[in-house]
Amino acid sequence: MRIRRTVTTLVVALATLIAATATAAPTAARQAATGSPYCGITWGSGDKTAGALSSAPLVDVRTGRHDCHDRVVFEFDGPVTGYSVGYGETYTEGEGLALSPYTAGGALLRVSLRAPAYDDEHLATVPYRTGEHVANVLRYQTLRDVVFGGSFEGYSTFAVGVRARLPFRVFVLTGPGDHSRIVLDVAHQWQE
């Protein structure tokens, strides 16, 4: 009698599990088919390029954590609109040395800013040397590293290590004051 009750209980539990899985599978398939965006993010992971070369120097690099993405902000002392960002190997400016051996993360974003990290007298405007880690990204969900790749002939380069190849966006903000910022956001995941 006890064995029969145990077997009946197991059969009922198994039937309930199968029914729940059968109901959840079409919902997940529909969501994947419709490409339901994660947090409304529809950025993609293709290269993003805009703007022209500027002489306004880079003065600060900082990072931030948000609910749906991690952020890197590059701030300039003047108007800057030029950038090129995409996944792939990043090389130091002027030397051409690969930064991947020095950058943590499962994927690498190469960030080329069309502005110098030095002033008119060629004095550095940021405290980083080529190859140095510029941000503490401990406890970030997506960012793993931000490494300075140097500045040469008006271009500044960074290697941004991320957990995996994820969607990202790049945009320009004006201010505060005469400053401008190039913002890089990397999503925490592809879709829900």
**Alpha carbon distances (Å) from 25 to 12, 15, 19, 39, 160:** 20, 15, 10, 22, 36
Kindly list the domain boundaries of the chain, sorted by start residue. Answer: 2-34, 48-187
48-187: which CATH topology?
A: Immunoglobulin-like (2.60.40)
User: Over the stretch 87-102, which tens digit does the pLDDT of each residue have?
Assistant: 999 999 988 999 999 9
Q: Give the burial string for 119-133 (b: 16+ CB within 10 Å, else e).
A: eeeeeebbebebbeb
Averaged confidence pLDDT in the chain: 86
Closest CA to 69 of 146, 140, 170, 174: 140
| Mean pLDDT to the nearest integer, 133-152 | 97
- What pLDDT does 113 receive? 98
Higher pLDDT, 145 or 32: 145
User: Over the stretch 28-83, which tens digit does the pLDDT of each residue have?
Assistant: 333 444 456 789 899 999 999 999 999 999 999 999 999 999 999 999 999 999 99
Q: Which of 25-29, 58-62, 146-150 has the lowest mean pLDDT?
A: 25-29
- What pLDDT does 30 receive? 34
Dist CA 122 CA 120 (whole Å): 5
Say yes or no to pLDDT of 118 above 80: yes
